[in-house]
Amino acid sequence: MSLKNILENFSDFRRDAEVGGHHDYEHRWAMSIDLNLCIGCNACSTACYAENNLGIVGKEKFEKGQAMHWLRVERYWDETDGEFPEQGASFVPMMCQQCGAATCEPVCPVAATYHTPDGLNAQVYNRCIGSRYCSNNCPFRVRYFNFWSYYEQSWPEPLNQQLNPDLSVRDKGVMEKCTFCVQRIRTAKDTAQREKRQLQDQDFVTACAQACPTNAITFGDTLDPNSKVSKAWRKHQVERGPYTHKKPKENAELRGYRVFEELNVDPSIMYLERVRETEV
């Protein structure tokens, strides 16, 4: 393949499907996260650990940058004056953004990470050689490398019996990331196929969305215009982006934004800005 063809294909890859891009989606799983409702309780992170067989690395390894968590809750303070800001902290759950034009995919030398017809950035563990190019190329810093065989100490007897049998336990030397609970997606697809029907938007939810006590996380298929997540995108997003089925009304609440949207990586997660009353 000539350099010209490579550049043309990469340009096509970078465009979203709605404007003639590379991907032809069966579904487009996405989220909207309302930061007004997020209380920073970390229930989503805990559920992710339990659902996806994530090992506990411990304080020492964490301090060395060897963290292993697919979902982290970041904290920000809008006010910098005073020891105790009046408005309190803002919490932002941060996981893999499942980008439509992911920068992690083209740099993998063995194609261990690729794009699925579901709109997911998938990871093939038994193909990964641990080059960590994907991690270096991810602007969100949400890919994690297995430095150790964490399972040897994370689940001593009888804790190993609580592992999720639908998902493998990864060993050292491979990259890991959020998969939008792909095992739940596959199970729901198989069930729908056995029942000879189409997969419905609410046939399953991710572990983080299920565990959230304030329902801050909405998960669904944005290709279904009647899904809750599609309605959230239409209501809150500005007049651009792949999920805007029609222009919002003039009085629409345009609180929606995508992290690093200026990088044109087409994230599948929309955050709704935190709104608080302030003194005039």
Q: Tens digit of pLDDT for each residue in 134-178?
A: 999 999 999 999 998 888 888 888 888 889 999 889 989 999 999
Amino acid making up residue 41:
C
> What would be the CATH architecture of the domain defined by 15-272?
2-Layer Sandwich (3.30)
Tokens of 121: 């950035």
Copy the structure tokens of residue 21.
């891009």
For residue range 4-34, list pLDDT tens digits in order.
554 555 555 545 555 445 567 888 899 999 9
Residues 6+ apart with CB under 8 A from 129: 109, 110, 112, 173
C-alpha to C-alpha distance for 105 and 101, rounded to whole angstroms: 8
The whole-number pLDDT of residue 240 equals 43
Q: Which carries the bigger pLDDT value, residue 109 or residue 8? A: 109
User: Domain spans of the chain?
Assistant: 15-272
List Cα–Cα distances, 211 to 41, 98, 108, 215, in angstroms: 11, 20, 33, 8
- Over the chain, what is the mean pLDDT? 83
* Closest to 69 in 3D by CA, of 85, 83, 84, 53: 53
How far is it, in rounded angstroms, from Cα 141 to Cα 139? 6
- Residue 192 parent element (H or E): helix 182-194
Rounded distance between C-alpha atoms, residue 192 and residue 186, angstroms? 10
CA distance 144 to 65: 10
Q: Are 247 and 239 in contact (CB under 8 A)?
A: yes
Tell me the two tokens of residue 251.
């009085």
Lowest-confidence pick of 10-24, 44-58, 120-134, 168-182: 10-24
Q: Which residues pair with 34 in a beta bridge?
A: 272
Element (H, E) at 235: helix 228-236
How far is residue 150's CA from residue 23's CA, in Å, rounded to a whole number? 36
Return the amino acid letter for 271: Y
Helix (H/G/I), strand (E/B), else coil: 270 = strand
The mean per-residue pLDDT over the stretch 47-75 comes to 90
Residues facing residue 123 across a β-bridge: 113
Q: Are 265 and 242 in contact (CB under 8 A)?
A: no
pLDDT number for residue 245:
41
Tell me which DSSP letter residue 240 carries: -
Note the pLDDT tens digit of each residue in 219-270.
999 888 888 998 888 887 654 444 444 444 454 567 888 999 888 888 999 9
Give the number of residues written for the chain.
Answer: 280
pTM of this structure: 0.84
- Which residues, 6 or more positions from 148, have their beta carbon under 8 angstroms from its beta carbon? 57, 61, 66, 172
